[in-house]
Structure formats: structure tokens, C-alpha cells
């Protein structure tokens, strides 16, 4: 069975697009060039989002711009939208491949009141209570902002919060502590659910021994949402150019010159928002500061009402389990199951059938009646993880008019909207905001052993698996 292409026949095939090159399933940001004009990954989102909105075609000739944004995903489009709406700046967005080609079209669509990989209790341990509370207020504001954007776009929104399931009894204490911190310190209505309560109200996950429910959480169709951002931005004069990879850049006399295959783009200010698809060697401000990690996803065929009942699927609330190598899963609006987890270490190994088998087995352990159910779509995507597990939205070198937003660690569906808004505000010199918070006041940290990150990642995956399943 080919794990790259959809096997489902309930959605019509997407017609080929002239001038678009074939999708490369082995793309790896540490060894691959950015690419040019590649087609989308064969995701369920691409198959069900409809035709992409109009764009402005590739760069053809030299261009002058006030602000250029590199990357047309959630962050880049949110930045462009804020610049146009709040500052009257019509940015130029450069995309190496098709619009919203990277993680924005491949993620799980889980919008949480979170950012980065750290929990709120860990914020307190790292920065103290006062900073943790201020950071919470900032990210909470960002979540509300994202919800306001979701309300403007038909993106199959599924409200209801987020379930965090304990996949082993020993994890219940961890969840109970996080729920207490969220209630008593940050004022959230987080509550614990017993195994029977989880089964009766939400889902009969056979691995789960209990769960924490967070009230803030909205599942979305990420590509429909991104298309909504794109339409709004272009209606305000933003120009979006696919098939226009940045091959290199330099600053001359305070102007940034970005080299693309079609010409040089000159800008007074530039923002990089390429996430896990940031090719090594293109931007020295980002080299070795991101740990790109592959995440695998599958979507099943449509389940009948009887199959959903047999599996105990009573809710569309999205779910994450307590593994370090976590599974994330939910029932989609059309009755399909989606599940995702870790994937290959390298792009060259991404098509190995064992990664799809891991998801199939994870789904079967949680919902035994779904063992062997047909897979309709299978894909993978790169996640940008920072070395300290928290994002940065900043100007890394005050002497250069270059900015970036990176490091969401898999929690970028919602937070990227706020990150883009803050990125735009920083570029325009807006004062009075929380620029002294840890996610704004320093660049992404480097790591001494970054050149050997894949070796370390492989060893960590073995340790995490042992700890998740056996210790």
C-alpha cells in the first residue's frame, strides 16, 4: 500500500496545476534546498479544502517593497494581515512552493491556549510566578485573538476544549498537578475526569486511565483557515508570490536584498516565518537554532454511526495523551478518525511503512474495534522545535532590519496568529507591549551539539519510548 497517496474515493481527485512541480516526500530541511513550486503533500486537508485562492504568481523581475515576509503559512499570513489592517502596509509574501505549503497544510488542526513544549508549571519553575502569570496573560490574549479570526472563516471549527489523557496510571498524578496549577494559579476551569467519566462523556480510549479537560481548545480545518487568512490579506493589498524561494540575502545600506530565481526583492524590513521548513544555509540567523522534527498523520475512511458507537466516539473534542512521544487524535466533522505522532528522523526515511504502522497500532490500542480500518490519507510534516522548547518572536540582531517568529513546537495552530500579529507590531516599532517576556526579549538559543542533533534525537527517542511504555 502506498503511504503517500490517498486511497479514499469519497472526495474527488484534485486536478493538476500547470507550472507546479511534483511533491517531494523526502524533503529534509537539514539537507534539502528550499524547493521551487512543489505541489502540496497529499493530506486530507488539501483534498477537502477546495481550490486554493488566487495568488500573485512567482516573482518576475526585481521588486521594491517596504516589508517582505518569507513564508506563507499561518505566521506569515497573520503578519501580513496585521500589517495591512492595522498599519496600512501592503507586504510582499515570498513562498518557495505553493501557498501555505508547509506545516500549515499538514498539522493536526488542534488550536490550544498554549505555545511551545513547556507546561505552565514549567514556566513557573523556569521564570518564577510573576513572569509565568504575565506569559499566561499574553498567550491567553493570543488565543482569544485567534478565536476571533476563526469566527470569520468557515473552517469546520469544533469547540469544546482539549482532553489530555493519562495513558498509564502513573501519569494521573502529573495531570492532577497540572490541573491544580491551572485552576489555582492561572484561574482556568481545568478539571480531572475518571476513566468512567471520560468514557461516558467523551471517548472510550482503552489506554486512558483518566484525563484532564481544558476548556480552551478548538479543532479546525487548518487549510480552510489559512485560505481564509490569504483571502483577507490579498483583499487588503498584500501580494503573495509562490514559486519564489529565497536563495540568500544580504543587507546593503540598511536595505535587505533577497535573491529569488525570478529577481532581487529589496525591502526595508524582512520577517522570516518558514517554521520547520527552514532550509539550512539560507539564513545564518537561524542555522542550528531549530530542531526540525517529523510528525506523521493519518485519516481513516468515513466511519459509520455504528462504527463510531462501537468505538465509543461520543465527542469531537481533540485529544493528546501523556507520552513524551505523544499521540494526538480526534473525530473529524465528517466522521473520520485522525491520529498523529512522531515519524522518521530524516526525510529520506519518511516513506518507510513502519511509521504508518506505528499510527495504525496506536489507533488500534486506543480503539480496538478500529483495528484494520482503511486509511484514506497519510502524510508527514516538519515541526519547528527550539532548543529550549519555547518560541521566539524577535529581532535577533538589532543592527539588521530582519525579524522572525519560530519555535512553536507543535502548538502553532492557534499561537501563530498572535505571533504574526506581534511580529508585525515589532517591525513597525510599536511600544507598550510585553517585549520583555522570554518569548520576545532574546533570539532562539543555539546548541553546542546542533550539528549532531540527529544522533541525539535517535537516542532520545529510544529513551522516551522506554520511559513512555515500560518504566
Say what the pLDDT of residue 9 is. 42
Q: What pLDDT, on the 0 to 100 scale, is given for residue 2? A: 35
E strand spans, 48-135: 63-70, 92-94, 110-112
User: Tens digits of per-residue pLDDT, 323-343?
Assistant: 999 999 999 999 999 999 999
10 Å Cβ neighbour count for 24? Answer: 14
The position carrying cell 483577507 is 232
- Closest to 366 (Cα-Cα) out of 303, 305, 321: 321
Cβ atoms within 10 A of the Cβ of 188, count? 18
Q: Give pLDDT, residue 99.
A: 98
Output the tens digit of pLDDT for each of the chain's 471 residues.
333 434 454 565 555 566 789 999 999 999 999 999 999 999 999 999 999 999 999 999 999 999 999 999 999 999 999 999 999 999 999 999 999 999 999 999 999 999 999 999 999 999 999 999 999 999 999 999 999 999 999 999 999 999 999 999 999 999 999 999 999 999 999 999 999 999 999 999 999 999 999 999 999 999 999 999 999 999 999 999 999 999 999 999 999 999 999 999 999 999 999 999 999 999 999 999 999 999 999 999 999 999 999 999 999 999 999 999 999 999 999 999 999 999 999 999 999 999 999 999 999 999 999 999 999 999 999 999 999 999 999 999 999 999 999 999 999 999 999 999 999 999 999 987 789 999 999 999 998 888 899 999 999 999 999 999 999
Residues 6+ apart with CB under 8 A from 212: 163, 164, 175, 176, 178, 179, 190, 191, 192, 193
305, 355 contact by CB (below 8 A): no
Tell the burial category of 302 from Cβ atoms under 10 Å away from its Cβ (0-12, 13-18, 19+). middle
Characterize the bridge pairing of strands 255-260 and 263-272: antiparallel
d(CA 235, CA 81): 10
> CA distances (Å), 104 to each of 26, 100, 470, in order?
18, 6, 34
Q: Are 293 and 383 in contact (CB under 8 A)?
A: yes
Domains along the chain with CATH numbers: 157-216+292-381 (3.30.9.10)
Query: What is the distance between the alpha carbons of residues 87 and 81, in angstroms, rounded to a whole number?
Result: 10
Per DSSP, the residues of 95-155 read -SSSTT-SGGGTS--EEES--SS--HHHHHHHH-HHHHHHHHHHHHHHHHHHHHHHTTS-S
Q: Is the distance from CB of 413 to CB of 437 less than 8 angstroms?
A: no
- Residue 349, class by beta-carbon neighbours within 10 Å (0-12 exposed, 13-18 middle, 19+ buried)? middle
Q: Which residue reads 495513558 in cell numbers?
A: 167
Cell 529577481 sits on residue: 263
Q: What is the largest CA-CA distance in the chain?
A: 67
Cell numbers at residue 5, please?
Answer: 497517496
Quick check: 446 and 284 in contact, CB under 8 A?
no
Looking at residue 154, its pLDDT comes to 98
Per the structure block, which three cell numbers stand in for 20? 507546479
pLDDT at residue 10 in the model: 55
DSSP 39-84: PPP--HHHHHS-SPPP---S--S-EEEEEEEE--SHHHHHHHHHHH
CA–CA distance, 256 with 249 (Å, rounded to integer): 7
Cell readout for 261 is 530565481
Tell the residue number behind the cell numbers 514556566, with chain if given: 123
Look at the block and give the residue holding cell 485529544: 319
Asked whether 172 and 197 are in contact (CB, 8 A), the reply is: no
| Beta bridge mates, 385 | 291
Is 339 in contact with 363 (CB distance < 8 Å)?
yes
Question: For residues 199 and 192, what is the distance between their CA atoms, to the nearest angstrom?
Answer: 13
Q: In which element (H, E) is residue 265 found?
A: strand 263-272
CA distance 369 to 372: 8
Structure-block grid coordinates of residue 175:
495531570
Specify whether the CB–CB gap between 119 and 188 falls below 8 A. no
Burial of 448 (0-12, 13-18, 19+ CB in 10 A): exposed
Reported residue count of the chain is 471
* pLDDT value for 3: 37
Helix axes 129-150, 412-427, angle to 10 degrees: 100
Cell digits for 147?
478565536
d(CA 275, CA 35): 15
DSSP-derived pairing of the beta strands 210-214 and 162-165? antiparallel
Amino acid at each position: 500500500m502506498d503511504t503517500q497517496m490517498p486511497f479514499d474515493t469519497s472526495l474527488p481527485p484534485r486536478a493538476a496545476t500547470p507550472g507546479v512541480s511534483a511533491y517531494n516526500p523526502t524533503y529534509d530541511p537539514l539537507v534539502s534546498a528550499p524547493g521551487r513550486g512543489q505541489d502540496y503533500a497529499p493530506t486530507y486537508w488539501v483534498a477537502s479544502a477546495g481550490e486554493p485562492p488566487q495568488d500573485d504568481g512567482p516573482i518576475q523581475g526585481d521588486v521594491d517593497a517596504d516589508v517582505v515576509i518569507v513564508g506563507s503559512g499561518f505566521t506569515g499570513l497573520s503578519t501580513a494581515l496585521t500589517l495591512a489592517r492595522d498599519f496600512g502596509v501592503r507586504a510582499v509574501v515570498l513562498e518557495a512552493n505553493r501557498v501555505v505549503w508547509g506545516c500549515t497544510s499538514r498539522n493536526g488542526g488542534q488550536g490550544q491556549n498554549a505555545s511551545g513544549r513547556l507546561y505552565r508549571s514549567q514556566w513557573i519553575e523556569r521564570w518564577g510566578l510573576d513572569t509565568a502569570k504575565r506569559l499566561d496573560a499574553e498567550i491567553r490574549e493570543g488565543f482569544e485573538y485567534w478565536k476571533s479570526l476563526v469566527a470569520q472563516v468557515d473552517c469546520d471549527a469544533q469547540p469544546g476544549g482539549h482532553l489530555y489523557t493519562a495513558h498509564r496510571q502513573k501519569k494521573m498524578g502529573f495531570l492532577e498537578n497540572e490541573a491544580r496549577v491551572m485552576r489555582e494559579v492561572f484561574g482556568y476551569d481545568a478539571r480531572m475526569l475518571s476513566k468512567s467519566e471520560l468514557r461516558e462523556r467523551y471517548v472510550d480510549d482503552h489506554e486512558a486511565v483518566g484525563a484532564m479537560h481544558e476548556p480552551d481548545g478548538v479543532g479546525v480545518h487548518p487549510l480552510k483557515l489559512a485560505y481564509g487568512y490569504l483571502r483577507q490579506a490579498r483583499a487588503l493589498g498584500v501580494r503573495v508570490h509562490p514559486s519564489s524561494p529565497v536563495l540568500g540575502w544580504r543587507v546593503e545600506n540598511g536595505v535587505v536584498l533577497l535573491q529569488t530565481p525570478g529577481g532581487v526583492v529589496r525591502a526595508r524590513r524582512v520577517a522570516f516565518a518558514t517554521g520547520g521548513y527552514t532550509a539550512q544555509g539560507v539564513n545564518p540567523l537561524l542555522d542550528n537554532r531549530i530542531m526540525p522534527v517529523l510528525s506523521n498523520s493519518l485519516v481513516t475512511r468515513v466511519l459509520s454511526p455504528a462504527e463510531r458507537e462501537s468505538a465509543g466516539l461520543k465527542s469531537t473534542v481533540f485529544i493528546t495523551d501523556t507520552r513524551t512521544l505523544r499521540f494526538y487524535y480526534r473525530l473529524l466533522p465528517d466522521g473520520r478518525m485522525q491520529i498523529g505522532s512522531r515519524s522518521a528522523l530524516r526525510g529520506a526515511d519518511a516513506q518507510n511503512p513502519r511509521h504508518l504502522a506505528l499510527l495504525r497500532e496506536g489507533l488500534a490500542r486506543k480503539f480496538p474495534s478500529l483495528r484494520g480500518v482503511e486509511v484514506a490519507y497519510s502524510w508527514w510534516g516538519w515541526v519547528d522545535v527550539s532548543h529550549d522548547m519555547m518560541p521566539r518572536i524577535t529581532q535577533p540582531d538589532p543592527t539588521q532590519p530582519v525579524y522572525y517568529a519560530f519555535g512553536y513546537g507543535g502548538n502553532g495552530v492557534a499561537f501563530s496568529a498572535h505571533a504574526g500579529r506581534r511580529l508585525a507590531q515589532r517591525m513597525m516599532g510599536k511600544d507598550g507591549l510585553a517585549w520583555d517576556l522570554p518569548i520576545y526579549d532574546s533570539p532562539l538559543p543555539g546548541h553546542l551539539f546542533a550539528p549532531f542533533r540527529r544522533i541525539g534525537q535517535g537516542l532520545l527517542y529510544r529513551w522516551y519510548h522506554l520511559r513512555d511504555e515500560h518504566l
